[in-house]
Amino acid sequence: MSIRPIYLDCYATTPVDERVLPAMLPYFTEKFGNPASISHVYGWESEAAVKQTREILAAAINATPEEIVFTSGATEANNLAIKGVAEAYFKKGQHIITVATEHSAVIDPCNYLKSLGFEITILPVQKDGLIDLTELKKALRPETILVSVMAANNEIGVLQPLAEIGEMCHEHQILFHTDAAQAIGKIPLDVQAMKIDLMSLTAHKVYGPKGIGALYVRRRNPRVQLAPQQHGGGHERGMRSGTLYTPQIVGFGKAVEIALAEQETETQRLTQLRQKLWEKLSQVEGIHLNGHPQQRLAGNLNISVEGVDGAALLLGLQPVMAVSSGSACSSANTAPSHVLTALGHSEKLAYTSVRFGIGRFNTEEEIDIVAKHAIATIQSLQNKR
Nearest Cα residue to 216 out of 75, 48, 72, 81: 81
Q: Tell me the C-alpha distance between 348 and 306, whole Å.
A: 9
10 is catalytic: no
Phi, psi of 200 (to 5 degrees): -95, 135
Helix (H/G/I), strand (E/B), else coil: 104: helix
Q: Are 307 and 286 in contact (CB under 8 A)?
A: yes
C-alpha distances in Å from residue 331, one per residue of 134, 326, 327, 377: 33, 7, 6, 21
C-alpha distances in Å from residue 325, one per residue of 27, 121, 217, 335: 37, 27, 33, 11
Sheet (strand 68-71) strand order: 68-71, 213-217, 198-202, 175-179, 144-148, 95-99, 119-123
Please, how many CA atoms are within 13 Å of residue 376, restricted to the half-sphere of its CB?
9
Radius of gyration of the chain (CA): 21
Residue type, 338: H
Q: Give the list of residues 6+ apart from residue 139 with CB closer than 8 angstroms, or none.
A: 97, 121, 123
Q: Are 10 and 359 in contact (CB under 8 A)?
A: yes
The beta strands (E) that lie in 240-335 are given as: 287-289, 300-305, 321-322
Annotated active-site residue in 10, 110, 169, 329: 329
Residue type, 139: A
Report strand pairing: 6-7 vs 321-322. Answer: parallel
Helix (H/G/I), strand (E/B), else coil: 292: coil
Degrees (nearest 5) of the Cα angle 39, 42, 46?
Answer: 105
Sheet (strand 287-289) strand order: 287-289, 300-305, 354-357
Q: How many residues does the chain have?
A: 385
Please, how many CA atoms are within 13 Å of residue 256, restricted to the half-sphere of its CB?
30
Active site residues: 329
